[in-house]
A and B are shown apart, each in its own frame.
Chain A
Amino acid sequence: MDNEDLKLTWNSQKTGLPFNTPAQIIAKAKGQRRSQIGGIVIMLITVLLLIVFTILYAGTQWNNFSLGLTLMISSLVFRIALEFIYLFKINKQMVSLDSKTFRSYVKSHYRARLRINYIITPLCLSIYVFGFMLLIPYFKAVFSSSFYTYILVSGAISLVVVSGLIARTIRKETQFLKRLNDR
């Protein structure tokens, strides 16, 4: 076997498959942009509502319910915003850096993400759970006993599922980082 055989073998791959048309790609790109903008708008509105809510009620009717709700929403919004920022940054670098520099960037990106996953995410989750716990007495007072039990059980299940997802992400990103460092 020689270099020519390598090329011949490589060129024997299928080509001219039915790819998406350029119009479909453009439509997908536009759809992606719309949903990104939609997500950002929803987050901004949520933050704005939180600020307005805090200003209106902080002085007079602020209680554990308001505090719990604020902690839950703000920890969630903060974590989602962080995810958006990291996604935006890596996408920007993907189109501007040469492959060697981008690889170094990807390594530092995933090292930073590991720190986020080990520190920031559990912190956000703890704040979220603490906020939820502040709401529990209000739920107990307002809802029927069966619905109250349902909220507690579903809350606990959600916590287990989210923790599992975080652990899975950490494992996946650690493996990827190791692969990048090995090769």
Chain B
Amino acid sequence: MDEAGFTEIYNTHADKVYRLCLGYASGDENLAKDWLQDTFVKVWHHRKSFKGNSAISTWIYRIAVNVCLAALKKSRKHASIDDRIVGMVDKPIQTEDREYKLSKMYRCIDQLTIQNKNLILLELEDIPQATIAETLGLAHGAVRTRLSRIRKALLKCMTHGQ
């Protein structure tokens, strides 16, 4: 992979990786940007170790998920989600509603186990279940079953504000 190849990969995947990181960082944009950068710095450093046994996207998501997991050690610094909900004043009602829902969603996702968080964040990014299974090291069937349970739990949390 040369610089042109890296640029193409970055432009294709940066947005998805950033949003994935946002989920781990509970919406903290600065943290998510740092983790996005760490992910692609690693992609560049280890580009020669990618043998093409899986799709390049699977490899990148795998690195992103692992970077976010390892970085959770320092993630308690970000403002709490509750603080951000309280901070939503004097905004147009539509924006406020959208941000409120999003903050609630971050909070509900944050309550999930790490493995379930991995699953739902990849699913929300419309990543195919086969790729999710390969990224996380799970059986395809298990991914389908678990995702259905997680979606239900997430919906319940979003509706009843668990």
Query: Does A15 lie within 8 Å of B15, measured CB to CB?
Result: yes
How extensive is the interface on chain A, given as a class?
Answer: 35 or more
Q: Is there an interface contact between B44 and A6, defined as CB atoms closer than 8 Å? A: no
Please, which residue of chain B has its CB at the minimum distance from the CB of A97? B66
0/1 string, B1-29, CB within 8 A of A gives 1: 00100110011001100110010000101
Q: Give the contact stretch, choosing among A21-29, A134-142, A150-158.
A: A21-29
How many residues belonging to B are interface residues under a CB distance threshold of 8 Å? 52
Q: Tell me the complex Cα distance, A173–B11, Å.
A: 35
- B residues within 8 Å of A by Cβ? 3, 6-7, 10-11, 14-15, 18-19, 22, 27, 29, 33, 36-37, 40-46, 49, 59, 62-63, 65-67, 69-70, 72-73, 98, 101-102, 105, 113-115, 118, 124, 134-138, 151, 154-155, 158-159
With a CB–CB cut-off of 8 A, which chain B residues contact A32?
41, 45
For B37, list chain A residues within 8 Å (CB): 19-20, 25, 28
Complex: how many Å from CA A176 to CA B73?
Answer: 6
A residues 9-51 touching B (CB-CB < 8 Å): 9-10, 12-17, 19-20, 22-23, 25-26, 28-29, 32-33
Top 7 closest pairs, chain A to chain B, by CB: A98-B137, A100-B137, A22-B7, A29-B44, A22-B10, A183-B113, A176-B73
| B interface SS class | helix
Q: Once the chains bind, are B44 and A103 in contact (CB under 8 Å)?
A: no
Q: Please name all residues of chain A whose beta carbon is closer than 8 Å to the beta carbon of B159 when the two chains form the complex.
A: 1
CB distance from B88 to the nearest CB of A (A): 14
Whether the Cβ atoms of A6 and B66 lie closer than 8 Å is no
